[in-house]
Each structure stands twice: as structure tokens, then as C-alpha cells.
């Protein structure tokens, strides 16, 4: 399941990050034209959709997806997702406003998948023959998108690869999640998504051992069924995409910027943002964007001068949405 969103994180060197999680983006849109319920290889589209529905029961309400080229997108809340008819083409996730950095991901390309079909419940199904797994995509009403692999039998068990843009670096985390990171400019890094820890269940609802590994720009999910696993098995990574911004600096740097910003605010917040446009403060101004938001942020920075901070420790401020305080965090955030 994938929810779309961004989390920007600025470090002392101007590093910014945006976090996108889940293979999920919720949307709504026109239904695609009716298509046959069974593909040429014989897999039943409705049966695959029912299998997915059972595995994900209680995990969000589906909306009917549209299928086509990138101009055909389903929208829910602030997000839009385009699901291609051709399984070799990427699924495109982006903000409905067009702002920010989007994300593309491809379903496994070695399964001999057929063109997309939309089941009655709105699930998009890429079916295959019974020797291979099928892929399914669901759009949820909360802005999330699920990408599932549906494994029909032990013969079809394997490792399944989801491929992201060539500028995306996949960074595994200790909790089993995976961050999707892009450096868009020197000192400016965007965390474009975070994939939740993997899960897989069999037709009886029993958990099936599964794990991730990173190969280049691909996230590979390995499925390792047990002797008593009952097929079909459904596996579902989850990616979340949202908007947040975090500024990280040492105590000494916060104090320095407090003095500089405080002495410059007499000329107005716009002057400060322009004057220091190539610095971490200028980058923060660009991310915040709204004049009133910039004023609130700069006032907070200036007020730090009166706070007691350890000069060598790292402190973080959430600038979007603003919380008007700094919190001591791990030193690695400032390195």
C-alpha cells in the first residue's frame, strides 16, 4: 500500500529531504472502458481482485482506478496517480497541484504480465499465466496506492522487483522500512518516499516470511513460504508521500543565524530571504513559500538567540507545518 506525501529535511549544509511512503496514493476518476474478465493466458481478473480484497480487508476503502497514458490520472485529496495499461510503463505518483517532486515505480517486469484490466471493485490487475505471479494495483480513498504481487502456487514463488527512477537511491532502515532519496542539487536532498516494512499473507490469512533487499534502483521483495502455506499468497509493500520540512543545525549555528536574521528582520522577511537566498535559511524560505509562513519561521529563528543551546549538539525545527521550537536530535542529523 502506498500513501503519497513529502517530508523535506534540511541539514546544516542545506540538505533537504522529502519522504514518500507506501505503495499507495488514493484517488478518484473516470472508469476505464470495459475489458474481458479473463486474459489471454487464462488468469481470471475477478478472482485475482477477490484474492487481494480478502488479504487487505479492513485496510482502507478502494476507489475505481483509471488506466491509460500519464494524462489519465485518478485523483484523491492532494494526490494524483497514473496507472498505465502497459505493465512495462511506470506508475506515476505526484501532487495534484503539480508542485514538488513526483515519483515513478514499475511493477515486476519478469512475470510476462498482460495489459491492465480493471476489476469490478476498481482494482487494476496485470495477470499472467499460472506459472507466474500476477500484479495488482489499488487506489484508496485516503490518497494511498497498494502494489500487490499475487502468487498462485509454489511454482510461481520467487523474488519480486519494484523499480524506481534512476535518480532514486534506496536506503534500508533498521526498522525494515526503506527511504527513497534523491540529491537534486549540491546540499539539497529530497526523500521522495519511504516504503513500509514488507508483509505477505496466504489465503488463510497466515503471515508468510518476507523481506526486502536493494539492488540498484530496485526494491526486491523475497517471499519464503512455509510448508503449510496455502496459496494464493498476496505480498504488499507500502509507500507514503506527504509534505513536511525539517531544519537541522548545531546549537552554535542556530545562535549565529539568530543574530544574523534578528538584525536583518528590520528590513522585512522578504529582504532576509533574498539576502540569504543561497544559504540554508534561503532554502527554507523557498520551501515554506507563503509570506506569512516565512515571517513566522524567521521570527522563530531570531528568538533562538535567547534560548539555551549546547553549541556542539544538533537541534531540529519542523518548518512545515511549523511548530516554532527546536528539539535536540541525534548528531548525525547535522553531519
| Distance, CA of 9 to CA of 86 (rounded, Å) | 35
For β-strands 134-140 and 62-63, DSSP reports them as: antiparallel
pLDDT for the residue 261: 94
pTM above 0.85, yes or no: no
- Using CB atoms within 10 Å of the CB of residue 149, give its burial: 0 to 12 exposed, 13 to 18 middle, 19+ buried: buried
Q: How far is CA 179 from CA 66, 142, 285, 296, 320, in A?
A: 28, 21, 25, 30, 19
**Can you tell me whether residue 318 is helix, strand or coil?**
strand
Min mean pLDDT across 61-65, 93-97, 157-161, 165-169 is at 93-97
pLDDT of residue 65: 83
Residue 12: its pLDDT value, please?
A: 41
Longest distance between any two alpha carbons in the chain, whole Å: 72
Q: What pLDDT was estimated at residue 186?
A: 42
Out of 39-53, 82-96, 179-193, 249-263, the most confident range is 249-263
Reading the block at residue 45, the C-alpha cell is 481478473
Which stretch of 28-37, 71-80, 177-186 has the lowest confidence by average pLDDT? Answer: 28-37
Amino acid 94: pLDDT? 79
Q: Is 42 left (phi over 0), alpha (psi -120 to 50) or beta?
A: left
The whole-angstrom separation of Cα 24 and Cα 184 is 24
Write down the pLDDT at residue 99: 60
Residue pair 164/170 in contact by the 8 Å Cβ criterion: yes
What tens digit of pLDDT does each residue of 270-299 get? 999 999 988 878 878 877 777 777 888 899
The Cα–Cα gap between 287 and 260 comes to 20
Q: Strand 245-250 and strand 314-320: pairing?
A: antiparallel
pLDDT above 60 (res 118): yes
**Which stretch of DSSP H or E encloses residue 333?**
none
pLDDT in tens, 6-46: 444 444 444 333 333 333 333 333 333 334 444 434 468 99
Please say whether the beta carbons of 26 and 140 come within 8 A.
yes
Tell me the helices (H) and strands (E) count for the chain, helix number first.
5, 24
Instruction: Give the H/E segment covering residue 55.
Output: helix 45-55
Written as one string, the DSSP assignment of 203-237 is TTS-B--EEEEEETTEEEEEE---TT--S-EEE--
Lowest mean pLDDT among 76-80, 90-94, 200-204: 76-80
> How does the average pLDDT of the chain come out, rounded?
79
Is there a contact between 318 and 244 (Cβ–Cβ < 8 Å)? Answer: yes
Amino acid at each position: 500500500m502506498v500513501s503519497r506525501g513529502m517530508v523535506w529535511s534540511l541539514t546544516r549544509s542545506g540538505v533537504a529531504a522529502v519522504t514518500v511512503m507506501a505503495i499507495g496514493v488514493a484517488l478518484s476518476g473516470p472508469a476505464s472502458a470495459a475489458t474481458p474478465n479473463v486474459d489471454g493466458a487464462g488468469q481470471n481478473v475477478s478472482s485475482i481482485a477477490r484474492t487481494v480484497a480478502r488479504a487487505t480487508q479492513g485496510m482502507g476503502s478502494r476507489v475505481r482506478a483509471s488506466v491509460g497514458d500519464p494524462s489519465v490520472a485518478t485523483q484523491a485529496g492532494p494526490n494524483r496517480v497514473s496507472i498505465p495499461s502497459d505493465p512495462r510503463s511506470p506508475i506515476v505518483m505526484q501532487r495534484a497541484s503539480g508542485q514538488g517532486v513526483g515519483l515513478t515505480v514499475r511493477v515486476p517486469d519478469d512475470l510476462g504480465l498482460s495489459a491492465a484490466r480493471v476489476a469490478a471493485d476498481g482494482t487494476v490487475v496485470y495477470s499472467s499465466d499460472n506459472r507466474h505471479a500476477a500484479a495488482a494495483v489499488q487506489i484508496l480513498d485516503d490518497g494511498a496506492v497498494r502494489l500487490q504481487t499475487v502468487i498462485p502456487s509454489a511454482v510461481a514463488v520467487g523474488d519480486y522487483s519494484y523499480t524506481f527512477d534512476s535518480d532514486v537511491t534506496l536506503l534500508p532502515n533498521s526498522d525494515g522500512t526503506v527511504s527513497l532519496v534523491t540529491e537534486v542539487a549540491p546540499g539539497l536532498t529530497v526523500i521522495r518516499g519511504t516504503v513500509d516494512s514488507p508483509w505477505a499473507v496466504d489465503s488463510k490469512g497466515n503471515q508468510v516470511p518476507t523481506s526486502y533487499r536493494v539492488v540498484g534502483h530496485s526494491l526486491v521483495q523475497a517471499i519464503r513460504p512455509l510448508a503449510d502455506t496455502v496459496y494464493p499468497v498476496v505480498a504488499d509493500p507500502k509507500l507514503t508521500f506527504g509534505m513536511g520540512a525539517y531544519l537541522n543545525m548545531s546549537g552554535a549555528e542556530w545562535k549565529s543565524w539568530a543574530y544574523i536574521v534578528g538584525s536583518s528582520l528590520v528590513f522585512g522577511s522578504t529582504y532576509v530571504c533574498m539576502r540569504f537566498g543561497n544559504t540554508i535559511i534561503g532554502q527554507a524560505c523557498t520551501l515554506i513559500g507563503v509570506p506569512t509562513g516565512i515571517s513566522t519561521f524567521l521570527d522563530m529563528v531570531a528568538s533562538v538567540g535567547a534560548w539555551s543551546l549546547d553549541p556542539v549538539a544538533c537541534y531540529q525545527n519542523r518548518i512545515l507545518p511549523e511548530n516554532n521550537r527546536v528539539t535536540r536530535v541525534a548528531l548525525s542529523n547535522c553531519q
